[in-house]
Amino acid sequence: MDEVTGSLDGRGLRVTVVAARFNELVVRPLLGGATAALARCGVADQAVRVVWVPGSFELPLAAEAVAAGGDCDAIVALAAVVRGETPHFDYVAGEAARGLADVGRRHRVPIGFGVLTTATLEQALDRAGGKHGNRGEQAALVAVEMATVLRALRAVPGTGTP
Mean pLDDT per segment of 10 residues, for the chain of length 162 residues?
A: 93 98 97 98 98 98 97 98 83 94 98 97 96 97 98 79 58
Q: What's the Rg (C-alpha) of the chain?
A: 16
The whole-number pLDDT of residue 85 equals 77
The whole-number pLDDT of residue 90 equals 83
Active site residues: 88
The whole-number pLDDT of residue 86 equals 76
The whole-number pLDDT of residue 53 equals 98
Per-domain residue ranges of the chain: 15-153
Q: What is the CATH number of domain 15-153?
A: 3.40.50.960
How far is 38 from 58, CA to CA, in rounded Å? 23
**pTM of the predicted structure, to 2 decimals:** 0.95
Sequence-separated (6 or more) residues with CB below 8 Å from residue 131: none
Helix (H) or strand (E) holding 85: none
The whole-number pLDDT of residue 125 equals 97
